[in-house]
A and B are shown apart, each in its own frame.
Chain A
C-alpha cells in the first residue's frame, strides 16, 4: 500500500479541529473577559451613580472580588486540567501507598517499613543524592560557561546548536548512544566503545565501565548532564543578553575587570534565570528513570528512586511499594518548594 492521502485526511481534519478548538477556547476566554467586565463596569457606574444619588456608601472590597473573578477565569483551564491530570493522581498515589500490592487491602505504613528494611535502600538514596547534587550543578555550570564563551562569537548560532543537539534526542535514545560510548570488548579485540578505545590508546586495560561502582553512577550522570547542559545554555544565554547595556557601561567607567564584572554584574543579572534552570533540572533529575533503566536497569549499584518506583509499580505489580517510593519523591522536593515560597515572599516585599 502506498502512502495515501485519503487515509491521512481525517488526521489533518483532527488537527484542524484541534487548532480551531484552541482558537475558540483561548480567544473566547479573552473575548469573554474583555466584554463582560466592560458590561460590569457599566453597571457599576450605574450603581455608583445611584449610590451617589441616594447617598448610601459603596461597600468596600468590590474591586478585590472583581479581581478574583478575573483570576478565576485566567486560572480556570490550568486548575481544571491540573486537578484531573495531576492532583487526583497525586492523592491517589498517597492512598495507594497505604495499600498492598494489588490495592485490595489497607496495610498502614508497611510499604514504608519495607523500604527502610531493604539493604539496598542506602545505595539507592546515595545514588539519588549524587544525581540531584551533580546534575544541576554541572549541567548549569557547563551551560553558563559555554553561554558566556560563545556570546557574540562568530558562528554563535551553530555553536549553540551543537550543545543543544542532545536536547533533541529522547532519554532512551541518549541511553542507546552512550551505551555505545561505554561499550566493552576484551583486551586485544577491536574496541567498539569510544571511551575504551581512548583508554586503550592511553595505555590502559579495557574496562567494563558500567559494571564498576561507584564510577558507573558518575558515567550515567554524565549522560544527563550532556542532555541538560543545552537547556541551561539556552536559557542562560538569553538572560545574559537581557542585561541592560548601561550597567556594563557604568562598570566599564569604574574600571572593573572581566572577572569582577562576571561576578558583580553578570551573575546577579541572571540570578532569576539561574534559579529557574537549577530548579527545573533538579526536579527533572529527581524524576528521571529512563537513562538508568535502559543502560543498567539499576544493576551494579546504580539504582535510583525513580527507576525503582517504575519497576515496583509497573513491572512487579507492587503498586503499594511503588506508590510509597513516589511519596518519598514528593518529600524530597519539599526543600525546593520551601525555597520557592521564600523567594516568592522576598519578591512580594520589594
Chain B
C-alpha cells in the first residue's frame, strides 16, 4: 500500500523544488527532523493502540510503556467492543453498515454541488457572484450547534408561514431517517467545499477556458469535459476530508439519525459503550481503533491522488 508512489531517491529523481531543497539541505538533518516529527506525531496514537490490548486494571495503574517490560496481552477490550451486549452480539456490524450508508451519499452530494457552485462562481460571469462567493465563504463560521434546531424543525414540522403550510413535515421513520442525515451533512459541508474547490477551479488557466468557449462549448460541457478531469485530485482531497468529518461526526448523527441500530452510526454506538457513568472507558481505547480503521484505509488508498501531482498546476503557465 505504501508503494503507490515513486520511491526513487537520489540523483535520478525528477527535480521538484522540495526534492531539491531537501537534497541541498544537510540531508542527514532533514531526515532526522522528519523522523522526529513522525515519532512525536505517532506516539500518542501508538500508546492508545498498546493500551487497547492491555487489561483494564493495567491501563488504569501503569503507563503503557511498561507493557514492553511486562507484556500482558488481552483481547478482552476488543471482545467487549465488538460483541459487548450478550443480547445483541454482532451489533457493531450493523452500526458499521450504518456508518457506510450515511457516509457515501454525504460525501457524494456535497462534492458534486460544491464543484458545480465553484465552477459557476469562478468562470460564469454574472452580477453579484463575488458577493455570493463571499457569503458562502462566511457561512463557514456558523456553529453547527446553532443550525441543529432550525433544521430539525424543518424536517419534523415542515415550513409554514402564518399557519399556511408551505412544505409538509417529512415524517421519516427508521431507515428513511438516513435522508435527514445526508441532507444535514450536505448542508453543513458546502461552505468549506465551495471555498476549497473554488480556490482550485479559479486557478485553472484562463486560455483553456476561453479557447473552449470560442469553440462553442457550453458551460455544462466545459465543466464535464475540461474542468472535472482537471480537478479530480482536488475532489479526492476534499472528498477525503468530508469523509473523515462525516465518519467521525457524533453531533449530527445524534440529532438526525437517533440512537437505534437502524440508523445510528458507529460513533454513536462507541460513545454509548463508555457506560452510563463513563466507567467503561477502557473500551474506548479499542473502540477508537475500530473506528479509525476505515478512514485510514480510505486515506491510504486515495493518497495517490494527492501525490500524483495536481494536473491543474502542471497545465498552468
Contacts and interface: CB of A to CB of B under 8 A. Distances in A.
A64 B126 contact: yes
Contacts of B175: 10-11, 13-14
Give the one of A78, A259, A266 with max B CB within 10 A.
A78
A194 B47 contact: yes
7 nearest A-B pairs in the assembled complex, by CB-CB distance: A85-B187, A242-B313, A258-B24, A74-B120, A170-B248, A151-B18, A18-B105
A98 B93 CA distance: 47
B134 interface: yes
B20 A261 contact: yes
Contacts of A287: 141, 143-144
A103 to B, nearest CB: 10
Interface residues of B, number: 147
Interface of A (DSSP majority class) = helix
B47 to A, nearest CB: 6
A22 B125 contact: no
A329 B142 CA distance: 8
A249 interface: yes
Given A18-B178, A165-B41, A1 B150 contact: no
Contact of B17 (A229, A269, A310, A313): A269
B44 A153 contact: no
B53 interface: no
Interface residues of A, number: 138
Interface string A275-294: 11001100100110000000
B237 interface: yes
B192 A280 contact: yes
B48 A177 contact: yes
Contact of A90 (B21, B38, B146): B146
A26 B250 CA distance: 28
Given A241-B313, A248-B17, 11 more contacts: A8-B94, A14-B176, A37-B220, A70-B120, A89-B146, A93-B146, A153-B9, A161-B2, A170-B248, A190-B63, A238-B309
B290 to A, nearest CB: 11
B169 interface: no
Nearest to A231: B241
B17 A177 contact: no
